[in-house]
Amino acid sequence: MSVVRAYRKASRRAAQLSAYAGEEAIALERLTSRLNEHGFALEHTASLLFPKLQRLATILEQPLVAATIPWLLRRAFGRPYRRR
């Protein structure tokens, strides 16, 4: 009798796992179709945006610019420099 119960339990879990895998496959299919629909727009945006980000990163890598950023942020937000 315990073998029959174990078999039923295993088959229930297999059915649940199969249903979960089916739901995940449907979700992945929907995601893939959405990415395919908007892929060209994303590629176009990336081709425009990445060179600008690369130029900005090159500027920010300069030591003087990196040291000046905290000062600029304090000035922009109107907070004076506080000593501890």
pTM (two decimals) = 0.43
Q: How far apart are CA 71 and CA 78, in angstroms?
A: 10
Which percentage of the chain shows pLDDT scores above 70? Answer: 93
Q: How far apart are CA 32 and CA 75, in angstroms?
A: 46
Contacts 24+ apart (CB under 8 A), 59-65: none
Encode pLDDT of 41-67 as tens digits. Answer: 777 777 888 888 888 788 777 777 777
Encode pLDDT of 7-18 as tens digits. Answer: 888 888 888 888
